[in-house]
Amino acid sequence: MLELITTYKLQLAYTVAIIIILVILQVILRTAAHKVGKRSEINITRTRLMFKYINILIFLIAFFLFSFAWGMGPDKIAIIFSSTFAVIGVALFAIWSILSNITSGIIMFFSFPYRIGDKIRIHDKDMPIEAVIEDIKAFHLHLRDDDGELTTYPNNLILQKAVTLVQKDVYLDEGKDSL
What is the C-alpha separation between 79 and 64, in angstroms, rounded?
Answer: 12
Say whether pLDDT at 43 is over 60: yes
pLDDT tens for residues 51-98?
988 999 899 899 888 988 888 878 887 888 788 878 877 776 767 777
159, 105 in Cβ contact below 8 A? no
- What average pLDDT does range 88-113 have in this prediction? 78
Helices assigned H by DSSP within 44-122:
44-69, 74-94, 96-111
Packed helices 44-69 and 96-111: angle between N→C axes, nearest 10 degrees: 120
pLDDT tens for residues 124-155?
888 889 999 998 888 888 999 999 999 999 88
Say what the pLDDT of residue 158 is.
87
Say what the pLDDT of residue 167 is.
87
In the chain, % of residues over pLDDT 90? 26
Say what the pLDDT of residue 179 is.
38
What CATH fold (topology level) applies to the domain 114-177?
A: SH3 type barrels. (2.30.30)
Give residue limits of the domains in the chain: 2-94, 114-177
- What average pLDDT does range 16-21 have in this prediction? 94
- Backbone phi and psi for residue 152, each to the nearest 5 degrees, phi listed first: -100, 130
Say what the pLDDT of residue 18 is.
94
Q: C-alpha angle 79/82/84, rounded to 5°?
A: 105
Q: Is 49 exposed, middle or buried (0-12, 13-18, 19+ CB in 10 A)?
A: buried
Packed helices 74-94 and 96-111: angle between N→C axes, nearest 10 degrees: 100
Say what the pLDDT of residue 104 is.
85
